[in-house]
Structure 1
Amino acid sequence: MCPPTAGRTSPRTKSRSHSQKGITLSTIDPTLEAFIKAEKERLRHDRFELPFSRAEYQQRQANIRARMEQAGIDLLMVSSPEAIAWLTGHALRWNKGQSPTAWAGTQTLAIRVDNDTPILFETAEHELMIVTRSCIDDYRLSADESLNGTLDNMFAELKAEGWLRGSVGVERWSYVPNRAVGSVIEERLTGAGCRVVDASLLVRAARRIKSPQELAYIERAAGICDAGLTALEAAIAPGVTELELWVEMMRGMVAAGGEPAALHETVAIGPNDLGHAFAGRRALQPGDYVWADPCGVFNHYHANIATTWYLGDPPPEALRLADIQAGAYDVLADVARDGIAVRDVNHALLDYYTQAGVWGLHGWTGGYELGLSFPPDWVGEFVFSLDDPDVDGVFEAGMVTNYESIVNYGMIDTIVYGTDSSRCLSTRPHRLNVVNV
């Protein structure tokens, strides 16, 4: 549990005048005003149990500062929702990435390389969220939610702290702030005499190796995902629609302790090529393939497991293909581990598919990083693909990716890389599932 935070609101507060544009408003009822004030005060003391200890958040902040020092960055402006949450616990479902122009998404966690206490710049509407659901010790709020209002407040505070100097890192690959807002922020930084650099990879790299507690949450997420797939399987029958199957999958995941994912967890009838479609109203018929591509989620940590079902008696070729796809997970578990080059793992898998006679018939085959994610995406920075095998980099203990073994059918599992081997998190068998009709 984190101690109470301290912050202040910009003096540019909204007026409490009882007249607006010539319209006279009624006098505020003192009884109701006192009631609301008491309710808010009660909420301020209703502390939310954060997913990690204060010590772990502080360790992450120290990790970031060490990376900043190595990169020659004096001030880091962290803006991606995932990174802010990873560093402080502050997590919002609305981050203003596609907001009205009147409500600019400017929330920023400012980290100085030589200061142990970062400053969160936010709008006043989120004060209770900051106080009760984060480990933030210093926050500065703007009551004015416009672009100029929030930035005037931010830059005045940074100037007063003496932080507007040297090299400043921003996250250009984050969707927050959007392009319009980000360009104004960079113009103001440059105008203050700072040198602006892109620090997106620095921030993302800091999150790549998962702590034991993070791994525990991802393992819990995998169990949640399995529960959803099992619930979906029980509902498969002719005439059932993709959306009806999606509902049963979501019901199963929520019952197992799950929560909303950063992407739509699709259920699709037809070939794997439709995997990026939304679940719709198409109804299952005998002879259909249907596949689901969800993430189970626990404390915003994601585990991706996808599987395919066939309604009726499947062609023998389909079963053979699925067995080949499944065999790749044994190869991955045997070869991929701490210190092994990504190119070596890629070539081991490439040799396996080639010898099985399916290379060239495949879809996208490879993996991407998983972890803490918010909408609109759960796909992390680290990616490996068998179509581009000769890449630099090594696998490290504590990394987590999915692995998509896709030739004709959706088959995905979440992989945890360890010191001596890697392991799949799903307890469901890798196969083409058959539903008798």
Structure 2
Amino acid sequence: MDYRDEVYFNAQPDREVAFSEEEYAQRLTCIRKAMAKAGIDCLFLSSPESMYYVSGYRCMWYHTESPLEWTATNGIAVHIDHDKYIHFETEREAVLTRTFTVDTDTRYFPKSSYRDGIGFVADELSAEGWLKGTVGLEMSAMRPNRAVSDRFQVAFESAGAKVVDGSLILRDVRWVKSPAEMEVLKESARLASVGMKRAMEVLRPGVMELEVQGEITLAIAKEGGEQQAQIMPVLSGKKSLATHGYTTRRKMQAGDIVCIDVCGVHNRYHMNAARTFSLGEPADDVKDVCHRASNVMDIVKDCLRPNLPIREFNEKVKAHYDKEDLWDSRGWIGGYEMGISFPSDWVGNFVYDPLSEKNADCVFEPGTAVNHEIQVFMPRHTGQFFMIESLLFEEDKVSFATPDISYDLIVIE
């Protein structure tokens, strides 16, 4: 054996598995039940979130924008008739499979494949008898890209499978979290609070947006928080009118409105929070708009409960903005699922919005986590009031991620 191979296959790293083997076994059972309901016999998982959910696998490079020869072909296959999964992986990540996963069957691409494992995956699954029925691919995942996904489809169909879109299987299963996941989300919420409090300490005129972003990241890291799936924005001045802007070397000025959006991350589970700051005392009408917008959180607190109908929640929130004559000044009001995320997106699959019927007839059942987002434009294009709070729905209560930080406009003197 070459020394290279000895390292790849024999080195024994310290184990860093996020959850118990029992937790992963329960997840696999839930996935197989969802597959059976959807009429899918074999599901090939390629998104980082899905691979992590099933096995614990995590990596800093997923080949999403790499050279065309270095294709994103690693993944995990699940079959409805088997209580194990098969992890297909490049040998270059063999050490990671022993570090992070609960794999019991890991199959590495041949050296000759040069990271392109499609033929190997198809041959192995065919030999197992896993390509005889309907196979689901995660066609809505960021990886693999269309060219690679099409090649997977051709390879599986050539082996006799019927290929369908299985994107929703894992997305739906992950909506309701286990008690172990909820505990992780609580730690993520704590980390979000740490980051926002550090921002309040360093915000002042003359400081670059990037400096504040760096201080937030460092404060969270010192408490054990991980890298976020998106770059956390620090947006000052009129750039705050676009909440998806990029943090830059811009030095903040007295009188600026500053929007800061953070996530605490523990074991890849994200909890989101955003607040709006004024560097110095704002104009009275600006302060008034922000105060009336933030008062919606009193409505939220009063109506929240496990199994709250989403339609009821949406209607009460919209009624507040109508009453305050702020609805036509909004950016976006609504929310989305919080949970497992990898770069470059922490926005979960489940979304709600007072103007949309999507999910309006669902409920916030125990074991779910969402954020609630408020965007209201201030007078004279001064900036945007941007506030996010994340909510955890448990069996007997609902908790807030960052209740110790004001939801109103925060003035930095």
> Shorter-chain TM-score: what band?
over 0.9
Q: How does 1:166-177 map to 2 (within 5 A)?
A: 166-177=133-144
Distance 2:193 2:208 in 1: 21
2:176 to 209, 234, 238: 209
Find the residue that maps to 2:76 and give its secondary structure.
strand
Deviation at 1:217, TM superposition (A): 1.6
- Is residue 433 of structure 1 aligned with residue 410 of structure 2? yes
In structure 2, what is the Cα distance between the partners aligned to 1:145 and 1:239? 56
User: Residue type of the partner of 2:387?
Assistant: M
Return the alpha-carbon distance in structure 2 between the equivalents of residues 148 and 53 of structure 1: 30
Measured after TM superposition, the shift of residue 88 of structure 1 is 0.7
Q: 1:358 aligns with which of 316, 326, 329?
A: 326
**Structure 1 residues 350-399: Cα deviation after superposition (integer angstroms, max 9, x where no partner):** 11111122111111010011101100111010001123257332221111
Q: CA RMSD in A?
A: 2.0
Give the 3 Å change call, closer, same or farther, for CA 147–167 of structure 1 in structure 2: farther
Q: Tell whether the 8 Å contact from 1:335 to 1:421 is kept in structure 2 after alignment.
A: no
Counterpart check, 1:424 vs 2:391:
no
Gaps of 5+ in 1: 1-12, 17-32
Q: How much has 1:41 moved relative to structure 2?
A: 7.2
Alignment partner of 2:163: what SS? strand
- More deviation in 52-61 or 117-126? 117-126
Give the TM-score of the pair, scaled to structure 1. 0.88
Match of 1:233 in 2: 200
Shift of 1:422: 2.9
Q: Is the 8 A contact 2:73 2:115 kept in 1?
A: no
Structure 2 Cα separation of the partners of residues 357 and 38 of structure 1: 68
Find the aligned partners of 1:88 and 1:291 in 2 and give their Cα distance. 37
Any idea what the Cα deviations from partners look like across 1:127-170, whole Å, max 9, x if unmatched? 11112321010011113475895112111111111111111111
The 1-side partners of 2:257 and 2:411 are apart by 9
Deviations 1:272-296 (A, max 9, x none): 4221111101111111111111111
2:44 to 71, 77, 83: 77
Deviation of 1:419 (Å) = 4.1
CA distance in 1, matches of 2:331, 2:396: 29
Question: Which residue identity does 1:160 align to in structure 2?
Answer: A
Which residues in structure 2 correspond to 1:281-296 (within 5 Å)?
281-296=249-264
Distance 1:270 1:279 in 2: 12
Q: Match of 1:395? A: 364
Does the C-alpha gap of structure 1 residues 255 and 131 become closer, same or farther in structure 2, counting only changes over 3 Å? Answer: closer
Give matches, 1:372-383, under 5 Å: 372-383=340-351
SS of equivalent residue, structure 2 residue 107:
strand
Q: Name the counterpart of 1:23.
A: none
Aligned pairs for 1:91-130 (under 5 A) are 91-130=58-97
User: Which residue of 1 is the match for residue 307 of structure 2?
Assistant: 339
Distance 1:141 1:196 in 2: 23
1:221 aligns with 2:188: yes
- 1:250 aligned residue (217, 223, 246): 217
**What's the offset of the Cα at 1:335?**
2.4
CA drift of 1:420 comes to: 5.1
Q: Which amino acid aligns with 2:305?
A: R
Give, in whole Å, the separation in 2 of the partners of 1:100 and 1:258.
31
Q: Give the match for residue 86 of structure 1.
A: 53
> Is the Cα contact below 8 Å between 1:109 and 1:118 reproduced in 2?
yes
Q: Distance in 2 between matches of 1:247 and 1:381?
A: 28
Is contact 1:347–1:389 with CA below 8 Å preserved after alignment? no
Q: Please state whether the residue corresponding to 1:290 is helix, strand or coil.
A: strand
- Measured after TM superposition, the shift of residue 229 of structure 1 is 1.6
Q: Distance in 2 between matches of 1:418 and 1:351?
A: 26
Equivalence for 1:415 = 391
Shift of the 364–146 alpha-carbon distance from structure 1 to 2, 3 Å rule, reads farther
CA distance in 1, matches of 2:302, 2:157: 50
CA distance in 2, matches of 1:148, 1:308: 46
Residue pair 1:102, 1:146 contacting (<8 A) in 2 also: no
| Cα distance in 2 between the residues matched to 1:208 and 1:54 | 20
> Which structure has the greater CA radius of gyration?
1
Structure 2 counterpart of 1:3: none
**What one-letter code is carried by the residue in structure 1 that aligns with 2:244?**
H
Which of 230, 248, 257 does residue 263 from structure 1 map onto?
A: 230
Counterpart for residue 321 of structure 1 = 289
Between the aligned partners of 2:320 and 2:114, the Cα distance in structure 1 is: 54
* Partner of residue 7, structure 1: none
Residue 140 of structure 1 corresponds to which residue in structure 2? 107
TM-superposed CA distance for 1:188, in Å, is 1.6
TM-score (norm 2): 0.92
Displacement of 1:190: 1.8
Comparing 53-62 with 183-192, which one deviates more in the overlay? 183-192
Q: List runs of 5+ in structure 2 lacking aligned partners.
A: 378-384
Q: How far apart are the structure 2 equivalents of 1:310 and 1:155? A: 57
Q: Deviation of residue 339 (structure 1)? A: 3.0
Deviation at 1:98, TM superposition (A): 1.5
- Per-residue deviation at 1:402? 0.9
Partner amino acid, structure 2, of 1:169:
G
For 1:76 and 1:39, the matched residues in 2 are separated by: 31
Output the amino acid matched with 2:286. A
Q: How many residues are paired up? A: 403
Q: Percent identity?
A: 34
Q: What is residue 160 of structure 2 aligned with on the other side?
A: 193
CA contact (8 A) 1:231 1:252 kept: yes
Question: After alignment, is 220-229 or 107-116 more displaced?
Answer: 220-229
